[in-house]
Amino acid sequence: MVMKANATKSIPAGMFKAQCLQLMDEVKATGIPLIITKHGKPVAKLVTATPEVKPFRSLYGRSKGQIKILGDIVNPLPNEWKADRD
Domain harbouring 12, CATH code: 3.40.1620.10
For residues 27-51, give the mean pLDDT: 93
Which is it for strands 34-38 and 2-3: parallel, antiparallel or unpaired? unpaired
For residues 1-11, give the mean pLDDT: 67
pLDDT at 5: 46
Residue 27 within a domain? yes
Residue 53 within a domain? no
* Mean pLDDT over each residue of the chain, to the nearest integer: 84
Cα(18)–Cα(81) distance, rounded to whole angstroms?
76
- Distant-in-sequence contacts of 59-64, Cβ < 8 A, 24+ apart: none
Confidence of residue 4 (pLDDT cuts 50, 70, 90): very low
Residue 38 within a domain? yes
Cα(69)–Cα(72) distance, rounded to whole angstroms?
8
- The more confident residue out of 64 and 77 is 64
Q: How many domains does the chain have?
A: 1
Quote the domain boundaries for residue 23: 2-46
Residue 80 within a domain? no
Residue 12 within a domain? yes
